[in-house]
Amino acid sequence: MAKQTRKTPAKSPSKATSTTKKAPSRSRAKKVVPEGTFPTSLELNVTFDTYPAGKFTHKDLGLSIDDVLSMYRNMLLQRRFEERAAQMYGKQKIAGFLHLYIGQEAISTGTSTAIKIGLDSIITAYRDHGHGLALGMTANECMAEMFGKVGGCSRGKGGSMHFFSKEKGLFGGHGIVGSHVPVGVGIAFAHKYKEDGGVSIAFYGDGAAGQGSVHEAANLASLYELPSILVVENNHYAMGTAVHRAFAETEFTHHAVGYKMKAALVDGMDVFSVCKAMQDHVALARENKPSMLEIRTYRYRGHSMSDPQKYRTKEELESKKNEDPIIRLKAYILEHKMTSVKALDAIDEDVKDEVLASVEFAENSPVPDLSEIYEHIYDESDYPYLA
């Protein structure tokens, strides 16, 4: 009787690899099914690790007090930056689509704390400000991007949905739901190919898990044993569609089973839970063991700036606000007497100043010259465009 467990099959060289020495190591043995062994029934028995809120201390994660305070600052920067961005949208300084990450900051910060920034790679969807700032992109370049100015990270070409930073390992900010996930797997492929020790983490929404490309990507990551982590940021809604209205299987960890991938469930309202999950799964990825994480979170704002939010109740929103990841971390810091309320207030002031300065920077940054419309399309500088 076939019984699937989470164990990876024992490594044994395939026939192909034994004939040519240099062939890529494909460790999955080809199973030839002998005659007469057709199973009479199949069983599936899988368990998943979970990372609940409140389970881990900073010491469990090997974090110093300074580390914790800088995580706090990092999350607060994302929060204040986006609050200001929303205001700037109201003033029509920012246009197009603006999707706020407010409520989900523990995911970006928990991740950036657990990885090697500069070596490892991150790719995400359009709700990308949090990840960008968490990785150390400046508020200046991020705000200027949304203002459509040349001082922006993408020179004003991409806007809110398309933050990129080669330096920080942010491979975008992507607007087509799900289609960046295979790209994330491709980045993992390159890490393995180049043997640079890096891992690639692809974040996507619960709604994006409905895209075929996400599932194709999961299979590829597992089949090729890539240093890849696929992360569902389950904020319970895709626009106005609650998860249970879009998925027959609402446990996203279960999706990984079909791809023979390890998966875990994480409480995304506790930055330590996220950080611990990332530490563990990044370590696996560095050994070319890909995995999938479902991180449960909540977005406090509408899907974008034009969302009447009729699909959820005020009560639901308020109850989730009690789980605010920033308030939780603040309480932890004070409980563990890491610093004073006054010092935390000073951090908030400092962050607010940084954000205000970014607005000024964005205001003062020039708009792109019209000639820039023909730049960055092809590698050639003399490409013959139709004019």
Partner 1 sequence: MAVLQYREALRAAMTEEMERDSSVFLMGEEVAEYNGAYKVSEGMLEKFGPKRIIDTPISESGFCGLGVGAAMAGLRPIIEFMTFNFSFVAIDQLINNAAKIRYMSGGQFNIPIVFRGANGAAGQLAATHNTSTESIYATIPGLKVIAPSNPDDAKGLLKSAIRDNNPVIFLESEVMFGWKGEVSDAVDYLIPIGKARIAREGTDVTIVAHSKSHYIAMEVADQLALEGYSAEVIDPRTIRPFDIDTVIESIKKTNRCVIIDESNPFASISSEITYQIQERAFDYLDAPVLRITSKDVPAPYAKNLIEYYMPQAKDAYDACKRVMYVK
Ligand X SMILES: Cc1ncc(C[n+]2csc(CCOP(=O)(O)OP(=O)(O)O)c2C)c(N)n1
In this complex, which beta carbon is closest to partner 1, that of residue 170 or of residue 326?
Answer: 170
Note whether 98 binds ligand X by CB under 6 A: no
From the list partner 1, ligand X, Mg ion, none, pick the one residue 127 interacts with, judged by a Cβ distance below 5 to 8 Å according to partner type: ligand X
Helix H, strand E, coil C: the string for the chain is: CEEECCCCCCCCCCHHHHHCCCCCCCCCCCCCCCCCCCCCCEEECCCCEEECCCCCCCCCCCCCHHHHHHHHHHHHHHHHHHHHHHHHHHCCCCCCCCCCCCCCHHHHHHHHHHCCECCEEEECCCCCHHHHHHCCCCHHHHHHHHCCCCCCCCCCCCCCCCCCECCCCECCCCCCCCCHHHHHHHHHHHHHHHCCCCCEEEEEECHHHHCHHHHHHHHHHHHCCCCEEEEEEECCEECCEEHHHHCCCCCHHHHHHCCCCEEEEEECCCHHHHHHHHHHHHHHHHCCCCEEEEEECCCCCCCCCCCCCCCCCHHHHHHHHCCCHHHHHHHHHHHCCCCCHHHHHHHHHHHHHHHHHHHHHHHHCCCCCHHHHHCCCCCCCCCCCCC
Q: Which of residues 6-65 bind partner 1 (CB under 8 A)?
A: none
Note whether 208 binds partner 1 by CB under 8 A: yes
From the list Mg ion, partner 1, ligand X, none, pick the one residue 276 interacts with, judged by a Cβ distance below 5 to 8 Å according to partner type: none
In this complex, which beta carbon is closest to ligand X, that of residue 229 or of residue 238?
Answer: 238
Q: Which stretch binds Mg ion (CB under 5 A): 14-22, 29-37, 187-195, 237-245?
A: 237-245
Of 143, 133, 44, 132, residue with least CA distance to 88? 143
In this complex, which beta carbon is closest to ligand X, that of residue 255 or of residue 303?
Answer: 303
Question: CB-based burial of residue 103 (10 Å sphere; 0-12 exposed, 13-18 middle, 19+ buried)?
Answer: buried
Site string for ligand X, 301-340 (x = CB under 6 A): --x-------------------------------------
Among positions 105, 141, 145, 206, the unique one binding ligand X when judged by CB under 6 A: 206
Among positions 103, 169, 175, 290, the unique one binding ligand X when judged by CB under 6 A: 175
What does the alpha-carbon distance between residue 15 and residue 30 come to, in Å, rounded to a whole number? 8
Note whether 266 binds ligand X by CB under 6 A: no
Site string for ligand X, 227-246 (x = CB under 6 A): --------x-xxx-------
In this complex, which beta carbon is closest to ligand X, that of residue 56 or of residue 81?
Answer: 81
In this complex, which beta carbon is closest to Mg ion, that of residue 206 or of residue 324?
Answer: 206
Q: Which stretch binds partner 1 (CB under 8 A): 16-24, 79-87, 224-232, 234-242?
A: 234-242
In this complex, which beta carbon is closest to partner 1, that of residue 17 or of residue 179?
Answer: 179
Note whether 212 binds partner 1 by CB under 8 A: yes
Closest distance of CB 154 from partner 1, Å: 8
Q: Which of residues 58-97 bind partner 1 (CB under 8 A)?
A: 95-97
In this complex, which beta carbon is closest to ligand X, that of residue 149 or of residue 255?
Answer: 255
Q: Contact residues for partner 1 (CB under 8 A)?
A: 95-97, 148-149, 154, 156-159, 161-162, 174-179, 207-208, 210-213, 238-241, 245-247, 310-311, 367-368, 370, 372-374, 377, 385-387
